Amino acid sequence: MKTHPVIIALVTFLIFFTARPAAAQKDPVKYGKIELSELEMTSYDKDTTAHAVILVDYGTSSFNYSDHSGFQLQFSRTVRIKIFHKEGFDNASAMIPLYHSADDKEKLADLKGCTYNLVDGEVVKDKLTNDAIFTEKFTKNWNHVKFTMPSVREGSVIEYSYKIVSDFLFNLQSWYFQYEIPVCWSEYRVTIPEYFYYNRSMYGYESLDINENSARQEQFSYIVRPDRAISNANTQQGSVQVLANYWRMAAKDVPAFKEEDFMTSSENYVTKIEFELSSIKFPDQIPKSFTQTWESIDDMLNKEDQFGGQLTKKEFVKDLADAINIQYQSPQEKAQAAFDLVKNTITWNGMNDILATNNIRKAFNDKTGNVADINLILIALLKGVGIEAYPVILSTRDHGMIHPSHPTVSKFNYLVAQVKINDKTYLMDATEKYSPAGLVPFRCLNLKGRVIKPEGSDWVNITPAYSHKQIIVNDMTITPEGLITGKQSVQADGYAALDMRKEIYAENTPEAYIEKIKKQDPEITIQSFEIKNLDSLNNPITRLYIMDLENQVTIAGDLIYLNPMLKYGMSENPLKLEKRNYPVDFGYPIDETYILKLTIPEGYIIEEKPENAIINLPGNGGKFIYDVTLLGNLLQIMSKYTITQTLFTEDQYNIIKEYFNHIVQKHNQQIVLKKAL
Amino acid sequence: MRAALFLFILSGFLFHTDKIIGQTFSVADIPDSLKISAHAVIRLSEKVFEVRGKTSATLTVREATTILDDSGKDDDAIVVYYNKKITIKSYRGSIFDASGKLIKTIKSSDFKDESAVSGFSLYDDNRKIYYRPMVASLPYTVMYEVEYQLNGFINFPEWMPVNEYSVSVQNSSYQIIVPAGYSFRYKGFNIPEPEVVSTDKTVSYRWEIAGMKAVEDEIFSPSPEEFLPVVIAAPDEFVFEDYPGRMDTWRNFGLWSSQLLEGRNVLSDETVAKMQAMVAGIDDPVEKTRAIYDFLQTTTRYVSITLGIGGFQPFAANEVEKTGYGDCKALTNYTRSLLAAVGINSYYTLVNAGNNAHDLWLDFPCQQFSHAIVSVPLEHDTIWLECTDNRQPFGFLGMGTDNRYALLVTDSGGVITRTRSYTFSENTQCRNMTIDLDETGNGTATVNTRFSGLQYDNVSDLLYQRPEDQKNHYYRSIPYSNFQINHFEIQQEDKPVPTILEQLSLYIPAYATLSGKRMFLLLNPLNQYNLSQKAGKERKNDIVIRRGFWDADTVEFTFPQDYRIEHKPENISISTPFGEYSTTISSENNHIRYIRHLKLFSGRYPASHYSEMETFLRQLQRSDQQKAVLIREN
């Protein structure tokens, strides 16, 4: 939801803070008080290989009142970093993003910094000067303040501190407890007067050492002018004790965060806390609710003009809906026609959102829009042809996970359609030109989404309806000289088909695509080709080659050695690291089959062949079959592996890694042909 | 659509009004020959650069590009770069469908305006406006017009009508208009002479190309500037940010550059004294220079800053002294000041950096540089110092700056020189490996490899990584499915040519694959040559091998006593003008020794020799994949 500072202006209520919270805990860091031991440190004992370490990172968020701006958030942060090696120098540069709207902006205050070096036993200080601080207009709404610390060398301790004063109450600063370098101590304290409610969402794999919540009294002086619409109270002036919610969160010795392969967004794994404004309630005021419970989010979205408001628009698709209704009878055909029409006429502008840009009619006329525009148009058209359809909001893989325990709307960035036909539900996304209806793009496969209905909104699993499926059949003959010729068919379905179609359409024509392929591998000569079902998206696509393959065998006298997988085996394990800290997430099921039918030269026999094998992943998570049979002079090899369980926890890492090891090992094995005497 | 990035070299473009009238952008009008291997076709590109005065000029660009396929869409965005020196006066665009019918007029409010800085740059005023067309059906045509105002320029915009692969050109032109009597020079490469038209007030020069087929990427090619049309032009006299200069000769361009350095080399007395104390007792100027370079590397770091005289003038030395950081110009200037403090003369040296950058156009003095380094002339040799890298070995130039012309900025003007080159016999990778195999084909291996010269550059990034990251690098890059690293070590060796020694010990289950009683043994486990591209129908470009190298591998296998060798590949020795390759496989009892040498020589050969070269590369690729076969007795 694009929450606007206007919400603040609506509160016709003035209050002056005069008192600060009583006796708080001691601050974990005092700016400028560097310990000699910090300068003398030569490594971080918990991770001696770290190039730099955050010694302490301390932030606070609280509320201020200013006469002309009303309530403001005040964020302050002090961070102290020890640099051990030159490779850690990047940590001496920093960037602070600041939000601004047309008439208001976040203000950076009291930015100061200092580098400390130990030179011949003396502490030498170099201050960050104003001429080393720059502001860059990054986008329309964001400025970046950038600075870099002076005199940084191996052994330096750098420290900087700043405040951000913000009128944007929805922008209570998040806090990261984890970075790409380790953190010794990270602490965030947040004080929120009882008028404001924020949802807190905690992410990541590291636990907090301190997570305290207490109520405390704060004293205010105030002037209140109640809203006449709901209260007869007089203007009041005085001083009250107001209850405030106080959080103190701290983590000690947080290890460095490392990206791993087969991960969704690092935002899903790094340890952090986020806040989302859910409601504001002042005494004698109507509470202003933002998000609070999933039900209130559902309700808000249904009422939101750029969401629910769009679902009432159907006039603009009426003609198209009528045409579909005349041409098609069954709901399946109608849904397919509606999907194709939207997909083929409206181009995705690459933007993700759960809200329409303006209104979907405009996007329809412009023939381009964001993902919400496109799929809301799809829903409108589906409804127009009498099919039940609802928006499903979700968060893409690179955007972060949705946690049903934390009601928050800002975590969603994508919208697809849920379509009900004859009691079966399908998910549809009309942004991908080469997807069949019912295939949601890989980016959406992030476990959960929420279907928004006028009544009965609920969670839905974003389960892929398709897998990444491919069948390679090589029907070939080998000559005594070792040349392999024949026919190859690659049939791709689901996500594999989408990949192949994208590759082909990346070129001007299928012919141009083949020309490109021909240049890629000197060992393959393609004599002729055929592509079947290129545009028949509901069917698997098939690519046929008549081809020659050279350099696949070793010939030694009467013997021919060859790997029956030819060039099509899995030659390396995709998971090679020793251990894994986070889950392996494949997104979709995988199903890869390879068949070789090889006619061996007259007079040759099989001298040796690999053993057959079947390997199962526990709990039907996947299966690998490798089978070699000989029928006369026809050698037949089948290799098939599946991965049906798409998410493996870090504890299961060795199991899935070992599974791939078996496959690679089998795919390396050789067959020996021998000329019979 | 490529609009030029006006950073160091002004390269830009513009138009000519009467030409466009009547032109439609129907896809049917594209000749078939321009569709071959093309993702996009530049239908029309007209660029007009008009000099208004010594520091003022306008540049107008009108360009229409037809996008043919999904790959072409990758660059269908209109992106126009600008900064404080090059401002945009007006811009607009439109989109046409396949039949050439106008389907959208792009208003200026449709464009987005953003910073054009990527990565961390402390200060950089380069910005861009951009627009991404979203058109459902291919093909379509995107046209845009931009008018720039230049407030100060050195060169005229460079013109390169094609600067990417798989784009063809229907018609493209460049026009330079100067006031009558204005003196400037130009030079065209791979393009005919311009049409010159004079009037009382102006002289116009116009280059044009038409019907240029899409260029395909070919491996071992020269830099694109050598075989594609290019026009460069520059005035003899110019004024940039109040610094007047001449660049009719390299000497004069160097004089201008040295002006920008004037008074910027002052260090505090304290630093001067410190430097002198540091080298006290050292007589050898090489060792003095080394001491200064060490000091530089421990006390400063590189930070990108694009400030000051359009990115030409360095921050003063005492600024770097104070802050400990700077960009290439500032750090180069600072290093020279430190050297001067200990009586070592050195030069601020301008280079055009990049692995495959074109060499300087020597006979056309003008601003052709993107980087600065230090050269220290000594009696017998020159020491080159790259000042932006804290870990660069002393005196080493990597592939970004090696073996090319450069301009020394001396007090008496610019002097052309050539940076250090490394021969194939210096760029070595020398590997010794042992693999002991057990009955089931599991291998225990040790690998010792020395990387030297430019091959040092291939692994130097690893040198100071965290051990965990180094280990993960090996896990990812060693091409076995399943193995354990028992030990690894990577260290720099003290050698005249930078050298890294890497030592690994590995346990590789199933190194040899077993089938029944046979064991298959890949003889070259870690250094397989892979030719990733096959020649198209005909090779067009000359063959250029920019840097030679020499790889020497020795692998000693020990296999179980009850196996004997059933098959062992033949020894091979191939010698060609491009390089040499040999394998020697010998055996004794249960040992096999495999020795492989691959030398590639730097050089340039005509395109007609490519099939000979490809044959050579494919032969060695095949040889690299060979296996020995062992068979169990009884």
- What domains does chain A contain, in order, with CATH numbers? 47-290 (2.60.40.3140), 295-461 (3.10.620.30), 468-675 (2.60.120.1130)
Give pLDDT, residue A230: 65
Q: How many Å apart are CA A597 and CA A636, to the nearest integer?
A: 5
Three-state SS annotation for A366-400: HCEECHHHHHHHHHHHHHHCCCEEEEEEECCCCCC
Q: Is B69's CB within 8 Å of A346's CB? A: no
3-state secondary structure of B320: helix
Give the one of B114, B303, B567 whose C-beta lies nearest to A139's C-beta: B114
Which residues from chain A sit within 8 angstroms of residue B35, using beta carbons?
508
Pair of tokens at residue A469: 């499926």
Q: Is A8 a residue whose pLDDT tops 70?
A: no
Which residues from chain B sit within 8 angstroms of residue A153, using beta carbons?
298-299, 324
The pairing of beta strand A347-348 with beta strand B56-67: unpaired
Give the residue on B whose Cα is nearest the Cα of A363: B134
Whole-complex ipTM: 0.79
3-state secondary structure of B283: coil
pLDDT, tens digit, 9 for 90 and up, residues A402-436: 888 778 787 899 999 999 999 899 999 999 989 99
Q: Is A134's CB within 8 Å of B122's CB? A: yes
Q: How many Å apart are CA A112 and CA A127, to the nearest integer?
A: 8
Of all residues in chain A, the percent with pLDDT exceeding 90 is 55
Asked if A514 contacts A486 with a C-beta cutoff of 8 angstroms, the reply is no
C-alpha A77: how far from its chain's center?
28
Give the residues across from A247 on adjacent strands. A190, A213
Q: Which of residues 34-53 of B touch A (CB under 8 A)?
A: 35, 37-39
The pairing of beta strand A590-599 with beta strand A272-280: unpaired
Give pLDDT, residue A67: 60
pLDDT band at A79 (very low <50, low <70, confident <90, very high): very high
Q: Domain-by-domain residue ranges, chain B?
A: 17-235, 246-418, 428-632
Which residues from chain A sit within 8 angstroms of residue B513, using beta carbons?
665, 668-670
For residue B139, give the nearest of B241, B214, B65, B222 by alpha carbon: B65
Q: Is A146's CB within 8 Å of B123's CB? A: yes
CB pairs under 8 A between A and B: 179
Give the one of A147, A561, A573 whose C-beta lies nearest to B482's C-beta: A573
Q: Is A140's CB within 8 Å of B112's CB? A: yes
Asked if A149 contacts A128 with a C-beta cutoff of 8 angstroms, the reply is yes
Which residues from chain A sit within 8 angstroms of residue B570, using beta carbons?
none
Pair of tokens at residue B50: 């008009």
Asked if A119 contacts B299 with a C-beta cutoff of 8 angstroms, the reply is no
Asked if B142 contacts B95 with a C-beta cutoff of 8 angstroms, the reply is yes
Q: How many Å apart are CA A297 and CA A307, to the nearest integer?
A: 12
Lowest mean pLDDT among A67-81, A183-197, B189-203, B376-390: A67-81
Which class in CATH covers the domain with range B428-632?
A: mainly beta
- Name every residue whose Cβ is closer than 8 Å to that of residue A286 and which is 6 or more positions away in sequence: A227, A230
Q: How many Å apart are CA B36 and CA B625, to the nearest integer?
A: 35
First-to-last C-alpha distance (Å) of chain B:
70
- Using the Cβ of B211 and the Cβ atoms of chain A, whether some distance falls under 8 Å is answered with no
Residue with tokens 């290019």: B230
∠A162-A163-A165 over CA atoms, to 5°? 155
Q: What is the DSSP string of A276-312?
A: EEEEE--TTSPPEES--SHHHHHHHHHH-TTTHHHHT
Q: Is A577's CB within 8 Å of B124's CB? A: no
Asked if A16 contacts A65 with a C-beta cutoff of 8 angstroms, the reply is yes
Distance from CA of B74 to the nearest CA of A (A): 10
Q: How many Å apart are CA B48 and CA B173, to the nearest integer?
A: 8
Residue to substitute from B41, B66, B70, interface A, most A β-carbons within 10 A? B70
- Predicted TM-score of the model (pTM): 0.83
Q: How many Å apart are CA B602 and CA B399, to the nearest integer?
A: 14
Q: Which fold has domain B17-235?
A: Immunoglobulin-like (2.60.40)
pLDDT band at A566 (very low <50, low <70, confident <90, very high): very high
Q: Which of residues 501-520 of B touch A (CB under 8 A)?
A: 510, 513-518, 520
CB atoms under 10 Å from CB of B189, counted, come to 16
Q: What is the mean pLDDT of residues A561-584?
A: 87
Residue B131 CB-density burial (10 A; 0-12 exposed, 13-18 middle, 19+ buried): buried
Q: What is the mean pLDDT of residues A506-512?
A: 88
Three-state SS annotation for B16-37: CHHHHCCCCCCHHHCCHHHCCC
Q: What is the mean pLDDT of residues A283-299?
A: 79
Give pLDDT, residue A15: 42
C-alpha A271: how far from its chain's center?
15
Q: Is B134's CB within 8 Å of A368's CB? A: yes
- Name every residue whose Cβ is closer than 8 Å to that of residue B7 and which is 6 or more positions away in sequence: B126, B306, B311, B370
pLDDT averaged over chain B?
Answer: 89
Q: What is each CA distance from A307 to A383, A404, B40, in whole angstroms?
A: 15, 21, 38
The pairing of beta strand A236-254 with beta strand A210-224: antiparallel
Q: Is A621 a residue whose pLDDT tops 90?
A: yes
3-state secondary structure of B330: helix
pLDDT band at A239 (very low <50, low <70, confident <90, very high): low
pLDDT averaged over chain A?
Answer: 87
Give the residue on A whose Cα is nearest the Cα of B319: A150
pLDDT band at A7 (very low <50, low <70, confident <90, very high): very low
- Name every residue whose Cβ is closer than 8 Å to that of residue A365 and which is 6 or more positions away in sequence: none
Give pLDDT, residue A20: 46
Which residues from chain A sit within 8 angstroms of residue B299, using beta carbons?
151, 153
Helix axes A318-327, A371-384, angle to 10 degrees: 50
Residue B507 CB-density burial (10 A; 0-12 exposed, 13-18 middle, 19+ buried): middle
Give pLDDT, residue B9: 31
Q: Is B515's CB within 8 Å of A672's CB? A: yes
CB atoms under 10 Å from CB of B184, counted, come to 17
- Ramachandran angles phi, psi of A435, nearest 5°: -95, 140
Q: Is B513's CB within 8 Å of A670's CB? A: yes
Which residues from chain B sit within 8 angstroms of residue A520, using beta carbons?
532-534
Q: Is B303's CB within 8 Å of A93's CB? A: yes
Residue A179 half-sphere exposure toward CB, CA atoms < 13 A: 22
Instruction: Name residues of chain B where pLDDT drops below 70.
Output: 1-23, 117-120, 306-310, 535-537
- The CATH architecture one would assign to domain B246-418 is Roll (3.10)
First-to-last C-alpha distance (Å) of chain A:
80
Q: Is B301's CB within 8 Å of A152's CB? A: yes
Residue to substitute from A44, A140, A362, A508, interface B, most B β-carbons within 10 A? A508
∠B284-B287-B290 over CA atoms, to 5°? 155
Provide the residue count of chain A. Answer: 677
Give pLDDT, residue B456: 94
- Using the Cβ of B118 and the Cβ atoms of chain A, whether some distance falls under 8 Å is answered with no
Which residues from chain A sit within 8 angstroms of residue B142, using beta carbons?
none
- Using the Cβ of B122 and the Cβ atoms of chain A, whether some distance falls under 8 Å is answered with yes
Pair of tokens at residue A173: 């600063």
Q: Is A126's CB within 8 Å of B391's CB? A: no
Provide the residue count of chain B. Answer: 634
pLDDT band at A11 (very low <50, low <70, confident <90, very high): very low
Pair of tokens at residue B594: 């495999």
Asked if A230 contacts A284 with a C-beta cutoff of 8 angstroms, the reply is yes
Of all residues in chain A, the percent with pLDDT exceeding 70 is 92
Q: How many Å apart are CA A52 and CA A34, to the nearest integer?
A: 16
